Amino acid sequence: MFKIMKIISMIYFKISGWKVKGGLPAGLKKCVMIAAPHTSNWDFLYTRLAFVIMEIPVKITVKSSYMRFPFGPFARALGCIGINRLPKEEGEERPSMVQVMADLFKEHDYLVMLVTPEGTRSLRTKWKTGFYHIAALANVPVALGYLDYAKKESGVGKVVYPSGDMKKDLQEIMAFYKNIVPHTPEKFSIDLDYDGS
């Protein structure tokens, strides 16, 4: 089934004039994958097709209730993983979303967790930085997935390992996305708090 999906994805990319560039480094089994820019419904289609072509089985976190019938089979087919923030023991505090998502990396031998830190298709000049905290807590890198509509190119540009200096690392990430052209440019901005230019 996967081979068929890959062939279909490659045909669609060829017909539409898109190409895939880059990928994950050989041997990298765990990372947080940014999907950006995120300004159009078309982004989801091109992102999913590109990851199929690159053979990167990205996962998306959703509430665990969505993994039950009747939505469960469809959610799993889309690559969803259910998360549950209820305390494990009665009387314990509810764990943070960052902690729960970071813990998923302990439970899986291979996990590429897809995140959209802009959080919306509308213009935002500040990104949600939870993706960075998840990567740092789980001791995994952040991979920079992208869609460049000017070049009709999709791929993974680089991999950033959290250094402990969040500002420096986020400036490196923003410097990469600053030159990427989205579907709707007026709806995209890097996080201006980390614009190192």
The pLDDT tens digits for 33-50 are 999 999 999 998 999 999
Give the domain range for residue 97: 2-194
67's tokens: 């993994």
9's tokens: 């994805």
Residues 6+ apart with CB under 8 A from 114: 33, 35, 47, 58, 59, 60, 79, 145
Query: Which segments of 17-124 does DSSP mark as H helices, in order?
Result: 42-53, 72-77, 97-107
Are the CB atoms for 171 and 129 separated by under 8 Å? Answer: no
The pLDDT tens digits for 141-188 are 999 999 999 999 999 999 999 999 999 999 999 999 999 999 999 999
Q: Which residues of 114-153 are buried (b: 16+ CB within 10 A; e: fewer)?
A: bbbbbeebeebeebebbbbbbbbbbebbbbbbbbbbeeeb
Are the CB atoms for 142 and 158 separated by under 8 Å? Answer: no
Number of domains in the chain: 1
- pLDDT score, position 76: 76
**Ramachandran angles phi, psi of 49, nearest 5°:** -65, -40
127's tokens: 């990104």
Q: Between 64 and 194, where is the model more confident?
A: 194
